[in-house]
Amino acid sequence: MVMVQKDSSGLYPEARLEPKPNEAAKLRPRRIREGPLDAVHVFWLAGMSCDGCTVSVSGATHPSIEDLQNGTIPGLPKMILHHYVLSTESGEEFVENYRMAWKGELESPYVVVYEGSIANEEIAHRTGGFWASMGTEPDPEEPEGQRSIPTAEWMKRMAPGAAAVIAIGTCATWGGIPASAGNPTGSMSLMDYLGKDYRSAFGLPVINVPGCAPQGDNFTETVAAIFYYLQGIGPIPDIDALGRPAWLFAETVHRGCTRGSWYEEGTFAKEYGDKECLVELGCWGPVVNCNIVKRGAINHVGGCMEAGGVCIGCTMPGFPDKFEPFYTEPPGSIISTTGSKALGSFIRPLRKVTQNSQNREPRWDAEHDVPSAWSEVGEPGPVKKVEEWLYRMWQGTNGERPGREGKDRNWGGTRPGRDEDYPTG
């Protein structure tokens, strides 16, 4: 057994190796059949993965994997999924489908999906091993022997002929945890592996759907958008500069967070279980591009902040290294939360005044009584009445007085309607 020491940076020397220029990016894309299509093959490959992306996608509902496979979505071709967990085939019978795609023997176009980061197989090869593989073939170095085929090599073979290549999950899109500081594998993202010049047979660069794990719906919705494009009835999906579906990742977590309004008012949770904004407990939501709270985790239910957890930035290219230590208040938030607290000290009382006023019927104001049997509701004092009068004056500037006599201008704090509209007794 060979023992390798880490260097001063905390990385193993082999992990610092630059990946070789990928031959896949240099190969001429193979011409493939254009739409209308009856079916599209989807070949799933896995590298340094926990299979969390597979679990997430299997729970997708809008659309579901079954919807795509059965062709129930109007206008879309059927998806023929080749997945090492979900396929009924196994062994060489399963791997043969990948060989046919690589050799261009399929009648329909195919898409390649990669889950997990791509390890530097040269490191493992030096000791006669591999990091992630699928299937075997004759070993050119041993005439009578067999070699395991790394999934990275399958990607290199299949990428030029693919209609599209999709990286699913943060490990595949940005390298993720297997590529973090100190790793011995030399792992990298699919985009790093194929290179900037890679284009699919339809001219598409790598498409990234990040998340650890990503929402299944984000992936299936992206696949549906790509299928519409391949079918010839939809445009190229709106993809941002980093290859992410822009309609899913353009906004930050914070903008769609149900706790965001607490941040605006300068009110923050002190411990887990509190209902307020979680930034001071280590939430990175204000800067992370993700739709987890808007969409929910599965079937539009849950999501990190919705369930009481902080955002640790798992959809971002800098994850995990640039977001550590987790569950600690981000340095930049100290400045913004201080400003938010100062502004919130004015906003909260002002909103309370308006809320108290709008929580009263006009009849209750006229009769100076709230007929609630649940609890006694006190009358506003002179100060609050003046505040309300000023507020209503401002609100009604250049507006018509409501009610049947609504022709007066600048009605301000006057009570809408006539006294006889509110009979007593």
Q: Who wins on pLDDT, 47 or 391?
A: 47
pLDDT of residue 245: 97
- As a residue count, the chain comes to 425
The pLDDT-based confidence of 55 (bands split at 50, 70, 90) is very high
Does residue 69 contact residue 224 with C-beta atoms inside 8 Å?
Answer: no
The pLDDT-based confidence of 421 (bands split at 50, 70, 90) is low
**Which residues lie closer than 8 Å to 265 by C-beta, 6 or more apart?**
340, 344, 347, 348, 351
Q: Model-level pTM greater than 0.85?
A: no
3-state helix/strand/coil string of the chain: CCCCCCCCCCCCHHHHCCCCCCHHHHCCCCCCCCCCCCEEEEEEEECECCCHHHHHHHCCCCCCHHHHHHCCCCCCCEEEEECCCCCCCCHHHHHHHHHHHHCCCCCCCEEEEEECEECCHHHHHCCCCCCCEEEEEECCCCCCCEEEEEHHHHHHHHHHHCCEEEEECHHHHHCCHHHCCCCCCCCECHHHHHCCCCCCCCCCCCEEECCCCCCHHHHHHHHHHHHHHHHCCCCCCCECCCCCEHHHHCCECHHHCCCHHHHHCCCECCCCCCCCECHHHCCCHHHCECCHHHHCCECCECCCCCCCCCCCCCCCCCCCHHHCCCCCCCHHHHHHHHHHHHHHHHHHHHHHHHHHHHCCCHHHHHHCCCCCCCCCCCCCCHHHHHHHHHHHHHHCCCCECCCCCCCCECCCCCCCCCHHHCCCC
Angle at 379 between CA 377 and CA 385, to 5 degrees: 140
Report the 10 Å Cβ neighbour count for 184: 18
Domains of the chain: 23-138+147-247 (3.40.50.700), 251-359 (4.10.480.10), 363-369+379-419 (no CATH)
Report the 10 Å Cβ neighbour count for 128: 8
Report the 10 Å Cβ neighbour count for 3: 4
**Strands 164-168 and 207-209, sheet pairing:** parallel
pLDDT of residue 206: 98
* For range 137-165, the mean pLDDT: 92
* For range 113-120, the mean pLDDT: 97
pLDDT of residue 395: 83
pLDDT, one tens digit per residue, over 198-218 is 999 999 999 999 999 999 999
pLDDT of residue 227: 96
The pLDDT-based confidence of 32 (bands split at 50, 70, 90) is low
The pLDDT-based confidence of 9 (bands split at 50, 70, 90) is very low
What CA–CA distance (Å, rounded) separates 54 from 83?
9
Residue 318's Cβ-side half-sphere holds a number of Cα atoms within 13 Å equal to 10
pLDDT of residue 398: 81
**Which residues lie closer than 8 Å to 349 by C-beta, 6 or more apart?**
none
What's the longest Cα–Cα distance across the chain? 105
* For range 163-172, the mean pLDDT: 98
Residue 12 has pLDDT above 80, yes or no: no
